[in-house]
Amino acid sequence: MRALTVPFHATPDKLEVSTLAVPSIFAATDVLIRVHAASINPIDVKKAAGMTKLLETVSFPFVLGQDVSGVIVQRGDDAGDFNIGDEVYSPLLKGAAAADYVVTSSKHLCRKPVTISHSLAAALPTVATTALQALARAASLQPSGDLTGKTVFIPGALSGTGHIALQLAKRVFNAGHVITTASPEKIARIPELLGEGTVDQVIDYTTQDVHKEIERGSVDFVFDTMGDALSYFSLVRPETGVVISLATMPSGEQALKAYPETPWAAKVMLNLVDAWYQWRARRWAVGTYEFFFPDPDIYAKDLEKVAWWVGEGKLRPVIGRTARLEDLEGVIAGCTEVKSGKGGTGKFVIELV
């Protein structure tokens, strides 16, 4: 089968389309999926480049792709309700989605939303489960236990995580005032891509200062997808405001849970960095600051909800760029854009069927 690989830790320009053996079902709960589409997340290109090598060892050739949408072609004896021919989507714990076939556990699988293509479905798993769980966590930390009517700030309107989080914040969590940031070329496209009324205030982050545009101490929840959490502490409501970040640094304990190979020294270093963040958060009287990793044990349930909201028209994934796997130039361009963290709109999807 074909697979998108790097032969060693490398930047996207070294990507290759390799020929590998079709993977075999290992556990009774596993399924073999014929991949129709795979989306690329920043973590794929970071892992390929060796940016996480302190925390985990990857084997080579390393196959990229954390998100899959495809059709089950083989199932283990204990694969639950899933059958051959089912169209499914999933965030893969072990990656390797950018290949003709992938084996994964049925425990993290869900039937794909019927109203959208495999490409659109592949755009959803990681960003939708992450955004949903982060919003649910932020809601649980509010004194009211929800985000209804609350002021929410989610930078990066058309980033992978941001574009989904904004829609969920407004249409599922009923946030009152939803603020975001974008570069000038993207601002005009926000209503068209995310739906009229999803966002109440857009700040052009290239020319405007969020600290001038957002009143100090007025935000109930900041979802930091850019790693700028520290600079947002002054914006949150004292004592109750919540800052959840996907892109600062996990604490040592969080790293160890997500990456069991995390060395002792790295754990200590991460705990020190986290302690510093917590200290800064306390100085601004932030109610809660947390780095966030989603819980894989609830992926399947989350994806069922996501499929439902897609069907109801509450959630629409945005794809800025696609490439077929055989178009290596297009694949490299898409992965390079993801690695740069600039220029992309929504998700980059690789199509295989």
Chain centroid, CA 78 distance in Å: 29
Nearest to 65 by CA among 110, 107, 100, 105: 100
Considering the complex, state which of residue 13 and residue 78 has its C-beta at the smaller distance from ligand NAP.
13
If one asks whether residue 294 binds ligand NAP (CB under 6 A), the answer comes out as yes
Query: What residues numbered 164-203 form the site for ligand NAP, per CB under 6 A?
Result: 181-183, 186
Considering the complex, state which of residue 18 and residue 52 has its C-beta at the smaller distance from ligand NAP.
52
Considering the complex, state which of residue 139 and residue 203 has its C-beta at the smaller distance from ligand NAP.
203
Query: What residues numbered 22-41 form the site for ligand NAP, per CB under 6 A?
Result: 41
- SS3 for 285-335 is CCCEEEECCCCHHHHHHHHHHHHHHHHHCCCCCCEEEEEECCCHHHHHHHH
Nearest to 138 by CA among 123, 148, 124: 148
Chain centroid, CA 30 distance in Å: 23
- By beta carbon distance, the residue nearest ligand NAP is 160
Considering the complex, state which of residue 41 and residue 151 has its C-beta at the smaller distance from ligand NAP.
41
Sign of CA dihedral 313, 189, 226, 121: positive
Considering the complex, state which of residue 32 and residue 122 has its C-beta at the smaller distance from ligand NAP.
122
Residue 11 vs residues 48, 102, 340: alpha-carbon distances, Å: 7, 23, 11
Query: What residues numbered 63-92 form the site for ligand NAP, per CB under 6 A?
Result: none
Size of the site for ligand NAP (CB under 6 A): 30
Residue 321 vs residues 336, 348, 351: alpha-carbon distances, Å: 12, 5, 11
Identified binder of ligand NAP from the candidate list 79, 226, 235, 281, rule CB under 6 A: 226
User: Taking the complex as a whole, how short is the minimal distance between the CB of residue 225 and ligand NAP, in angstroms?
Assistant: 4
Q: Which residues bind ligand NAP (CB under 6 A)?
A: 41-43, 126-127, 130, 155-156, 158-162, 181-183, 186, 205, 225-226, 246-247, 292-294, 338, 341-344
